């Protein structure tokens, strides 16, 4: 039996598929603990996963729902700035609180949501294997694939690939403050530097719930990238157990 930890955003669209993976691992005899801010406990209250609270001082009960409500009222650049500030705050919290909680829970392996960019660095710091889970659209970048936030059509022509790369450069520029938090933390922890955003993803396995037939044609996807639809179907929730961490 392995002790498996989960790190993912507090949004229900990320929690539901991640909990289903956790439930399947429980069925196979493993122990599964989800690390999250206070209100996540209520959101997964019908699951059999154990819960370990982190980040209560930064994200008290109700703050995540308030954040999403505020974000829903914003558009364009204002919405992007608001989201960036939130993810910076979340990243700093995870770097501060998650390592000790994971260590105290004696975790053997981590499942990390792809958009939880701090997770891979935390796993590296703790010398733990980890798997990247794409609970939303895969955001792996390559020239032939339009940036995930655009409505651009796929075209296998030079100008479309150039457009996609410029879109990715713009995304990296706008989110550089989040990236800087990660880069700085790796320096503090004396970890090998990351040079591109995809360096944060697992080199062991990356799992996506998006069927290949519905994705853009990809030419440079990692060989350890897998589509795993079976564990992402209907929820099968039961009871939650809180653990000390």
22 pLDDT exceeds 70? Answer: yes
- pLDDT attached to residue 242: 55
232 pLDDT exceeds 70? Answer: no
234 pLDDT exceeds 50? Answer: no
Specify the residue for token string 């009960």. Answer: 61
What are the DSSP calls for 175-207, one per residue? THHHHHHHHHHHHHTTPPPP-SGGGGS-SS-EE
- pLDDT attached to residue 239: 45
Phi, psi of 70 (to 5 degrees): -65, -40
- pLDDT attached to residue 32: 95
What long-range pairs does 177-180 form, CB within 8 A, spacing at least 24?
177/84, 177/88, 178/84, 178/87, 178/88, 178/91, 178/117, 179/117
The CA distances from residue 7 to 18, 170, 223, in Å, are 9, 27, 23
Confidence tier at 186 by pLDDT (50, 70, 90): very high
Residues 57-84: what's their mean pLDDT? 85
Confidence tier at 229 by pLDDT (50, 70, 90): very low
Starting at the edge strand found earlier in the chain, the sheet holding 206-208 runs 225-227, 206-208, 130-134, 109-113, 3-7, 31-36, 50-53, 241-242
Smallest CA-to-CA distance from 202 within 178, 179, 225 is with 225
52 pLDDT exceeds 90? Answer: yes
Instruction: Give the helix, strand, coil percentages of the chain, each rounded to 5.
Output: 45, 15, 40
- pLDDT attached to residue 233: 47
For the ranges 58-67, 108-117, 136-145, 215-224, the maximum mean pLDDT occurs at: 108-117
Joined tokens for residue 216? 């853009």
- pLDDT attached to residue 6: 97
Q: How far is it, in rounded angstroms, from Cα 145 to Cα 5?
A: 31
- pLDDT attached to residue 245: 65
pLDDT in tens, 4-19: 999 999 888 899 999 9
Least confident of 37-41, 122-126, 234-238: 234-238
238 pLDDT exceeds 50? Answer: no
**Domains of the chain, CATH where assigned:** 3-242 (3.40.50.2000)
Phi, psi of 211 (to 5 degrees): -60, 145
Q: How far is it, in rounded angstroms, from Cα 186 to Cα 107?
A: 21
Residues 90-102: what's their mean pLDDT? 97
- pLDDT attached to residue 169: 93
- pLDDT attached to residue 181: 95
């Amino acid at each position: 039996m392995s002790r498996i930890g989960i790190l993912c955003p507090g949004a229900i669209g990320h929690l539901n598929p991640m909990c289903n993976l956790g439930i399947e691992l429980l069925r196979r005899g493993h122990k599964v603990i989800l690390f999250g801010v206070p209100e996540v406990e209520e959101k997964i209250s019908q699951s059999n996963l154990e819960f370990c609270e982190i980040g209560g001082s930064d994200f008290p009960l109700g703050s995540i729902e308030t954040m999403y409500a505020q974000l829903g009222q914003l558009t364009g650049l204002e919405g992007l700035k608001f989201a960036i500030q939130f993810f910076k705050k979340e990243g700093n919290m995870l770097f501060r609180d998650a390592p000790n909680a994971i260590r105290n829970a004696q975790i053997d392996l981590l499942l990390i949501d792809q958009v939880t960019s701090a997770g891979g660095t935390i796993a590296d710091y703790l010398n733990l294997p980890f798997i990247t889970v794409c609970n939303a659209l895969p955001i792996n970048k390559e020239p032939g694939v339009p940036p995930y936030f655009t409505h651009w059509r796929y075209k296998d022509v030079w100008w479309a690939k150039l457009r996609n790369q410029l879109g990715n450069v713009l995304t990296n520029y706008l989110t550089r403050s989040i990236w800087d938090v990660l880069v700085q933390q790796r320096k503090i922890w004396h970890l090998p530097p990351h040079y591109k955003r995809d360096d944060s993803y697992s080199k062991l396995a990356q799992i996506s719930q998006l069927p290949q037939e519905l994705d853009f044609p990809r030419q440079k996807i990692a060989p350890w990238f897998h589509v795993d639809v079976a564990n992402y179907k209907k929820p099968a929730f039961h009871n939650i157990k809180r653990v000390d961490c």
